[in-house]
Structure 1
Amino acid sequence: MRVGLARRLVPDGLWNLVEPLLPPFAPRPQGGGSAPLDDRAVFTAVVYVLTSGCAWRSLPPEFGVSPATAHRRFYTWTRAGLWRRLLQEAAARLSSQSEADWASAIIDAAADRAGR
């Protein structure tokens, strides 16, 4: 994926806020599988789906993340309360109004998808 698109979807300020909130990757208990993907790449793919409204299965391959992986991480992060914690952190720490607006849009989209 182009770095420019990734930085527009998830600016550095937003990523610095999100990264410490992400639960650690948990390998499958039965073993096997592939190595975990970069969290920022997966988060960017999830943000794309949430903000564009596209179906998970329509995630463009340029993100380097399979639709199944993006959806599975979205589900895992939702169960772990990421979106609620991100909202709390954004309200408390973001100084840039544009980043706060962007974080709010992502959280609203995540809440909408998680509620379905």
Structure 2
Amino acid sequence: MFADRAYDHDKYRKQVQAVGVTPVIARRGVAHGSGLGKYRWVVEQTFALLHWFRRLRIRWEIRDDIHEAFLRLGCAIICFRRMINLQLC
């Protein structure tokens, strides 16, 4: 599991290790790129890509199912664009 500096605490490391997962958490007080620079923060990148869709940036829908439908559509568009860039389709 990869995490940013906000989770740099022994409590979180022990919780993750208790379920059998190896934590890779950036350390506080160390310069950025402290050994974790080669890993991509997939969740943060996904949120950044989804925020390109105005409807997902600010949640206007009251119903959860409609919001989830737009979220799935946004993810599908992102995947399709990546496949086009890799020329897989």
Shorter-chain TM-score bucket reads under 0.3
Higher strand share: 2
- Report the TM-score, using the length of structure 1 for normalisation: 0.22
With CA pairs under 8 Å and 6+ residues apart, which has the higher RCO, 1 or 2? Answer: 1
Question: TM-score scaled to structure 2, two decimals?
Answer: 0.27
Computing the radius of gyration over CA atoms, which structure comes out larger, 1 or 2? 2
